[in-house]
Chains A and B, each alone.
Chain A
Amino acid sequence: MSTVPDSQLSTPAPSKFRLAFQEFLDGSGGTVLYFVVIVLCLMGGWEGAKWLGQETDYRLELGSVKISLNITRDLNMPHLKDIAEALSKPSQRQGPPLIEILVEKASYTLRLAIIGFTIGTIIGLALAILFAHSRLLERGLMPYVVASQTVPILALAPMVIIWSENLFGSREIGMPMITAYLAFFPVTIYTLRGLSDVPPTALELMKSYAATRREILWKLRFPNAVPYIFTALKITAPASVVGTIIAELPTGIQDGLGGAIINFAQYYVSGPSRLWATNFVTAMAGILFFVTVAVTEWLVVRWKRPSNRLDRWIDTFLKNLGRVVPLLRD
Chain B
Amino acid sequence: MTAVQDTKVIISIKNLNKEYVSSDGKVVRALQNINLDIHEGEFVSLIGPSGCGKSTLLRLIADLIPPTNGQLTINGHSAHEARENREYGFVFQSATLYDWRTVLKNVQLPLEVMRYSRKERDKRAHEMLKLVELSDFADHYPWQLSGGMQQRVSIARALAFEPNLLLMDEPFGALDEMTRERLNNELLEIWGKIPSMTVIFVTHNISEAVYLSSRVVVMSPRPGRISQVVNIDLPRPRGPETLDSDQYFHLISQVRHLLREVHD
Contact A210 B96 (CB under 8 A): no
Which residues of chain B are within 8 angstroms of A17 by Cβ–Cβ distance? Answer: none
CA distance A202 to B99 in the complex (A): 11
Contact A208 B62 (CB under 8 A): yes
Contact B94 A210 (CB under 8 A): no
- Chain B interface, number of residues (Cβ within 8 angstroms): 26
Minimal beta-carbon separation of A274 from chain B (angstroms): 48
Report if A114 contacts B (CB, 8 A): no
Residue of A nearest to B89 (CB): A208
Which residues of chain B are within 8 angstroms of A204 by Cβ–Cβ distance? Answer: 59, 64, 90, 92
CA distance A305 to B94 in the complex (A): 19
Which one of B64, B90, B112 lies within 8 Å of A219 (CB-CB)?
B112
Q: Which of A272-330 contact B (CB under 8 A)?
A: 301-305
Which residues of chain B are within 8 angstroms of A219 by Cβ–Cβ distance? Answer: 98, 109, 112-113
Q: Which of B93-122 contact A (CB under 8 A)?
A: 94, 96, 98-102, 109-110, 112-114
Q: Digit string of A222-248 for contact with B (CB within 8 Å is 1, else 0)? A: 011010000000000000000000000
Report if B256 contacts A (CB, 8 A): no
Which residues of chain B are within 8 angstroms of A305 by Cβ–Cβ distance? Answer: 143
Minimal beta-carbon separation of A311 from chain B (angstroms): 13
Which residues of chain B are within 8 angstroms of A209 by Cβ–Cβ distance? Answer: 86, 109-110, 113-114
Q: Residues of B with Cβ closer than 8 Å to A?
A: 59, 62, 64, 83-86, 88-90, 92, 94, 96, 98-102, 109-110, 112-114, 141-143
- Can you identify 17 A-B contacts, CB atoms within 8 angstroms? A202-B98, A204-B64, A204-B92, A205-B90, A207-B64, A209-B109, A210-B83, A210-B84, A210-B86, A211-B113, A219-B109, A223-B101, A224-B100, A301-B100, A302-B141, A304-B99, A305-B143
Interface contacts beyond A208-B90, A223-B98, A301-B100: sample of 5 additional A-B pairs, CB < 8 Å, sorted by A: A205-B96, A208-B83, A210-B86, A303-B100, A303-B102
